Structures are given as C-alpha cells and as structure tokens.
Amino acid sequence: MNVLFFYLVLITRNCFAISTVGDANIDNVCGIENLENCSHFDIENSNILTNEVKRSLESYVPCSDDDDNNCKCYIEVITNDLKPYQKGITQQMLNNTAKYGTRYKILNHQLFRDKECMFPARCSGIEHFLLNLLPELPDMDMVVNTRDWPQVLIGLGSRIGPIFSFSKTSDYLDIMYPAWTFWAGGPAISLHPTGIGRWDLQRDSISKAAIKTPWSEKLPLAFFRGSRTSDERDALVLLSRRKPDLVDAKYTKNQAWKSPKDTLNAEPAKEVLLEDHCRYKYLFNFRGVAASFRFKHLFLCNSLVFHVGEEWKEFFYFALKPWVHYVPLKSYPSEKEIENILNFFLEHDDLAREISERGSQFILNHLRMQDIECYWKSLLLSYQKLITFKVESETELVQISPLQRQEL
C-alpha cells in the first residue's frame, strides 16, 4: 500500500512538472518563456534549460560543410526575400522606391550611382563588394537603402517596388544585403574613429584575442558596453549595478548624448575594444536602432553569446540557431530572468563552453569574406533575373571607379 502511494505521488509530481514546463501561457509558472518565474530549484530540477539545449541539438541540421564555396547556409534567405517580386521588377517599381535610397546601376560591367550618397562611408562599404564582383555581374538597376531602418512595410505591398536594406523585421519586405560594416561605415566609436568595418581584419584580430584568453581564464561575468539606443538594454545595466559580481554592463556615449540621463543616470563609461570583450565568459547582444553590428563580432571571442530578441535580422542570423550557437532571451528580459539564466550557466560551465565553441566555429567557417562576396553575388544574380526592362545609361548617375573609392 505504501509503495503504491509512493508511485502515485511520483506520477502526479511528474505530470505536474511536464505541464508546468510545457505551458508558457499561464502566468506565474516557471517555463522556458518566462524564466523570471523560476526558482533556482525549478531550473535545476525540471531540467528546462538542459533539455532545451538537448532538443535543439537533436533537431539541428548543419546547413553545409565547413569548406562551402556556395554560401549554402544563406541561399534560402535570398529566395524568401525575392519571393514578393516573382512577377517581375519593372522600371516603374524602381522609380517608386528611388526616393527611399541610393540608386545603383550596373551597365557593361561598370558601376554607376546617384551623385549624392547620404552616408559616403556606408556607400563605400557597399561599393567595395559591387566593384569586386563587376566582371561577373550582368546589367541591372537597384535602390539601396543606407539608413539603419528598413523601408517597405508589408502593408505597402510589393507593388511599390524592391529596396535593399541591411536589416529588417518580419514586418518589412526589404531585401537584405550584407551590411556596409563588413567593409566600412560601421558606427564610429572613439576606438574606431572612421567606423567599425574591415570584417576581414576584425576576424583575425578578435580571434587572436580569443586565443590569448582561453575559456578557463575568462572572467565569469556577463559583459556589455554600448550606448542606450534602446531601453531594452536597461535591465542588464540595472542588474549590473545591483550585482557587479555577476554582470559588468554600462552605457557609453553616442552622438545623441546630452546628460547622464541618456546613460540611465550614470556617467558614461569608456568604450571597450571588441578584442577586450574576450576576457569575459558571457557577452550580451541587443538590437540597437535596427540589428546590432556587435553580434557577429561577439562570437569571435569564443565566449557565450546571449542574444536578446528575435525580431531584428541580418541575412546571416537565420543560419545561427538558438541554444546551438547562442543563448536566446526574449525581448525586454527582466533582471530576474537574466540573473536566473546566468546562474544556470555558471553552474553548467561545460554546456556554456560547448555552445560558445559551436557559435564561434560557425562564424569562423561560414561568415568569411568569401561568404559575404558569395552572398552579394548570388543575391544580385537572382535579383537581376527578375528585372523586366532593358537597363539604359542615365546622365544623372556618376560612375564609381575603384580610384574614386579610395578617395572617399
């Protein structure tokens, strides 16, 4: 009798654990979607996080071999982004979108552009790739948005016309292109006065810094430095003030800074080189105005990347998988949620190290300069096939030659 009673208790307890963990819609229940409701005991005993990693790994299918020359991991993104324009891209459509960006034209393997570019460094970051690819590109006409923000809301429909943007959410029909910052024109911080760029050099330099600080020597702290482009970052900064032995997160100035109010009532912190981020075990990425250029760099440190919010994407984000390559946190995580998940990984160091290694291997193997060029090329070749009109020369456009590019 006693034994039977024991089993009944065991069965009911297990059912309870399964239903609470699985159902994220009920308030005040501990689950993967609301970790802030969990106690330390809940997290350990229900294995929510270890199971999530296990499940994600089981369903993970690598997108290609490590020596892939055809940027296979990203081709689906091109297909999806061009889907709305399958009926063809007309001259009228490009006339419609011209005012949202910079016009580029490729004619007889030469590159032409609007005379003015809103952000010259960003244009040169784009032209680096276009100029390299010119011998392989047929005639085409396109509008490239160099603002941070995407332009074609789904509601406006694909009738308006195609426009290339570096980042978007699922509310937009913009066609994603590799951000200018892979070469030039990234955010100008005091440590990179001409802007963060040269992904080829950054890859080398940050990877070297990572080798200097192997996992076992990294400080067991969460680290973040950046400006307050979004208040989504506040919880981490506030947690850092409360628990400096768990988190070191501070706001830096940007051009819009006026008073300590803009750095959440504290003096702005100094900017920190991306190389120096490698000293910390846990690195946080948040959206800024749009997707953050920080993201791809953080992986190179071989630290564990925490990525907040799934909304904002660049073309390569889709190939990175939550729990496989990084730790996802929902938008606007609470302090408690961040604290819970950090405490979990402090106690599961092997799991943290394994995710960090998969993340950095992915970026090293699949986000090489040749993959960026491959993406640009595949994107433009597919885009060009949709153009329904003959591309003609235009007197208003100026030719961009490699020489001019160096003068910028």
Ligand X SMILES: *[C@@H]1O[C@H](CO)[C@@H](O)[C@H](O)[C@H]1NC(C)=O
160 binds ligand X (CB under 6 A): no
Shortest Å distance, C-beta 144 to ligand X? 17
Q: Is 245 exposed, middle or buried (0-12, 13-18, 19+ CB in 10 A)?
A: exposed
95 binds ligand X (CB under 6 A): yes
Subset of residues 18 to 47 that bind ligand X, contact rule: CB under 6 A: 27-28, 34, 36-37
CA distances in angstroms from 320 to 247, 305, 365, 398, listed in the order given = 25, 11, 12, 39
* 3-class secondary-structure state, position 19: helix
The rounded distance, in Å, linking the Cα atoms of 375 and 379 is 6
Annotation marks residue 23 as catalytic: no
Shortest Å distance, C-beta 108 to ligand X? 20
Strands 247-252, 219-227: parallel, antiparallel or unpaired by DSSP? parallel
Near ligand X by CB under 6 A: residue from 50, 56, 64, 91: 91
Near ligand X by CB under 6 A: residue from 39, 69, 70, 92: 92
Shortest Å distance, C-beta 89 to ligand X? 12
Closer residue to ligand X, CB minimum distance, 303 or 340: 340
Q: How far is CA 330 from the centre of its chain?
A: 14
Shortest Å distance, C-beta 36 to ligand X? 5
Shortest Å distance, C-beta 209 to ligand X? 37
Angle at 85 between CA 82 and CA 88, to 5 degrees: 125
Closer residue to ligand X, CB minimum distance, 206 or 391: 391
Strands 219-227, 280-285: parallel, antiparallel or unpaired by DSSP? parallel
Closer residue to ligand X, CB minimum distance, 28 or 259: 28
**Which 8-state DSSP code applies to residue 318?**
G
Rounded to 10 deg, the angle between the 349-366 and 48-58 helix axes is: 30
* 3-class secondary-structure state, position 355: helix
Closer residue to ligand X, CB minimum distance, 32 or 134: 32
HSE of 343, CA atoms in CB hemisphere, 13 A: 17
Closer residue to ligand X, CB minimum distance, 91 or 382: 91
The mark string for 51-90 relative to ligand X (x by CB under 6 A, - otherwise) is: ----------------------------------------
Other Cβ atoms less than 10 A from the Cβ of 75: the count is 17
Closer residue to ligand X, CB minimum distance, 37 or 146: 37
Q: Which residue out of 68, 148, 262, 276 is catalytically annotated? A: 148
**Which 8-state DSSP code applies to residue 262?**
G
393 binds ligand X (CB under 6 A): no
Catalytic amino acids?
148
Q: What is the binding site for ligand X (CB under 6 A)?
A: 27-28, 34, 36-37, 91-92, 95
